Structures are given as structure tokens and as C-alpha cells.
Amino acid sequence: MAKTIEILLEQPFAKPQKSKALFYLHGCIKPCYTPMQNSILGLLQGYTSGLESGDIITAGMNLASRGHFLWFSGRPLEGVELEQLASHSIYAELKQKVVLSGLVACKKMRGSHGLSTKLVINDEEIDFDDLKRIQLANKLGGKSSHACVVTTELEVLVIYQDFVTARTILTSTGDLRPHLRGLFQDTRYTFLVALISFISAQKESSWLARRRLKSRGLKATKIIRKWVSLGNVNLVHLLHLLEAEYSVLNGDHNAAEESFKKAQSTASRHGFLQYKALSHELASLYYASRGDTYWEEYNLDRAIEAYSDWQATAKVAELEKKNQIIGTKSTARSSGT
């Protein structure tokens, strides 16, 4: 199908529909079997084609998807935030109402170093709950747009290790996958469901609740595994990370350690900085639970490096405080005090 669309795009008669075709090609089809980075330029071309043909709505759809892809692909956050701010101005000029959850996500990651504090909506700093209220009040984008905001919110909560809130949101919102069909956010949401379920199950004392969480995680992981088997190269590192946490849940330590290493190396190779960092951070927590201080510190240092490369300044500050505490304890143990 992708090849057919590319051939048709070369024909003169295709110009009025070029923006729509590029949106479906790069926003929905190609990310299923080629690196996500390849689609970021294509979505920009879809935006400019929409402006040229007068298809303003599809131009906006291309621009919004590009914003999601910039966040998902692990691009340095300052550049992502700058483009999100520029997009916010463009939507205003096009008289389109779009909720840019990426701006809030960047602010959460960058803290006082972020650019969007007073430039998100009406000169007020807002949160994900505010975005959802604005969507509901203004009927922006319907259930699909709401599901995209929730997906971004869950990703931020996972990065900050707030699995209690993430689990609560999953329970309260129900299954959002039907509202994300055909969008790449479907893959991110499915991964987040699996990861939150596995890690929540590890912390759960109730046997029945633990079993239900494990079952939900396995169901979502099965979907991810199928997508990977069909050639989705953008999910390989996520599958390894899920396999690592599932192995932790089952007490299979050799498999967990091997899968953590695979998740780290694959995310690094494909440029997913945030997931390279997350894989190291989760590995650090795993080794801490095992009492292995050396690998705990090693993985925490690598997580800090990767989050720094991603320019997640607020997250780095949080981990550096944790690193100082671990270092102090390690020094005390080595000195025998």
C-alpha cells in the first residue's frame, strides 16, 4: 500500500490529495515497518502540501502528528519544545483549536529550563488535567484526541516512576485502544498498559489483583510482540523492556538482566534516548531490589547520562539527588560505619 501511495503522489492529478496521502503514509503506515525518524520529514511535507492546496485541516493533522513523533522518537527536548511552540502559533493563525500535550510533557521533563511555562494556553501554566478539561469544554478532537493526551500523560508518569497514578488513570479511563486505531499512538499506549501492569503487579500484595495485572500486561505484550514480528522496528526496544519486567515479576533473574541489556542497546542504536534512559533506570531499581549496589549505581549513572542527552533537566535533577544518596550509603558501607 505504501508503495502504491508513493507512486500516485508523483502524478500531477494527486496534488489536491497529497497532504492526506502523506498523512496516512507517514503518520500511519510507514512507522509500522520503517524507523520513525524517516516519517518526521514526510509529515512536514504533508503540512506544507496542505497549505499549498488549501487543505488546512489535513495540514494541521500532519503538523500535530509530527509533534507526537518528535516526542516519541527521542529528539532532544529543547528542539521539540521550540517546534511545539511554533506549532501553537501556527494553529492560532489557521484558526484551529488543537491541544498540544507535547508542550506540557516537555515542561514536565525540563522544569525551570523549559520554554513553555507562560506560553501554553492564555499565559497560564497548565497540566494534563487542564488539557483534558479544555478538550471536554471545547469539544476538541473527540475521544481520539483525549486518548492521545492520556497516552502522553502516562508516558510522563512512567518516566517519573509514578506507577500508582498511572495505574489509577488506566483503571478510570478504561481501554483507549479503540480510539487510537490507525494512529502510531496506539503502539505507545499498548506498551504503556503492559509496562504499568507488570510493574504494578510486582508491587501488589493481593494475589488476585496481581494475577489480573499480569494477565492485562501479557495481553498487551502479545500485541506488541505481534507488531514486532510483522516488522515494526520502532517497538523492538519496548518489547525487550516488557520482557525484562515480566521476568522480574516471575523471579527469572537471568532473563531479566539479559532483557534489560537488550532494551538498553536497542534503544541506544535506534536513537530512543528516553527509553535508553528508562531501561537503565528500571534496571537500576531492579539491581537495588537485589542488593547489587555496583550495578544499581552503574545503571543509574547511565540513566542520568541518557536523560541529560535528551535534555530532561528536571528528571536529571531528581536522579542526581538519588545518586548522591546512594553514593553516601555506599561510602558508609565501604568505610564500615
Q: Which of 73, 105, 132 is the last residue of a domain?
A: 73
Name the band, by pLDDT with cuts 50, 70 and 90, for residue 115.
low
DSSP assigned state of 26: I
Higher pLDDT: 135 or 90? It is 90
User: Within a domain: residue 258?
Assistant: yes
Mean pLDDT of the residues in the chain: 87
Q: Which pLDDT score is estimated for 122?
A: 47
User: Within a domain: residue 203?
Assistant: no
User: Within a domain: residue 243?
Assistant: yes
Q: Which of 73, 94, 121 is the last residue of a domain?
A: 73
Predicted confidence (pLDDT) at residue 27 exceeds the cutoff of 60: yes
Which range among 39-43, 102-106, 185-189, 286-290 shows the weakest confidence by mean pLDDT?
Answer: 102-106
Q: Which of 73, 88, 106 is the last residue of a domain?
A: 73
Q: What grid cell was written down for 222?
A: 502479545
CATH of the domain at 245: 1.25.40.10
Alpha carbon of 160 to those of 64, 114, 131, 281, 305: distances in Å? 25, 17, 19, 10, 16
Q: What grid cell was written down for 154?
A: 502516562
User: Within a domain: residue 192?
Assistant: no
In terms of Cβ atoms closer than 10 Å to its own Cβ (0-12, 13-18, 19+), residue 180 is: buried
**CA 104, CA 125: separation in Å to the nearest integer?**
9
Predicted confidence (pLDDT) at residue 119 exceeds the cutoff of 50: no
Higher pLDDT: 321 or 99? It is 321
- Domain encompassing residue 301: 232-337
**CA 146, CA 136: separation in Å to the nearest integer?**
8
Render pLDDT for 208-242 as a digit per residue (tens, 0 to 9).
999 999 999 999 999 999 999 999 999 999 999 99
User: Within a domain: residue 56?
Assistant: yes
User: Within a domain: residue 286?
Assistant: yes
**CA 287, CA 314: separation in Å to the nearest integer?**
24
DSSP assigned state of 231: T
The residue among 206, 193, 197, 202 whose CA lies nearest residue 249 is 202
Are 202 and 249 in contact by the 8 Å Cβ rule? The answer is yes
Q: Which residues of 96-122 are buried (b: 16+ CB within 10 A; e: fewer)?
A: bebbbbbbbbbbbbbeebbbbeebbbe
User: Within a domain: residue 166?
Assistant: no
Predicted confidence (pLDDT) at residue 14 exceeds the cutoff of 70: no
Identify the residue whose cell numbers are 505507545: 188
Higher pLDDT: 141 or 58? It is 58
User: Within a domain: residue 20?
Assistant: yes
DSSP class per residue in 129-176: HHHHHHHHHHT-SHHHHHHHHHHHHHHHHHHTT-HHHHHHHHHHH---
- Count up the domains in the chain and report the number: 2
**Percent share of the chain, pLDDT over 70:** 85
Name the band, by pLDDT with cuts 50, 70 and 90, for residue 102.
confident
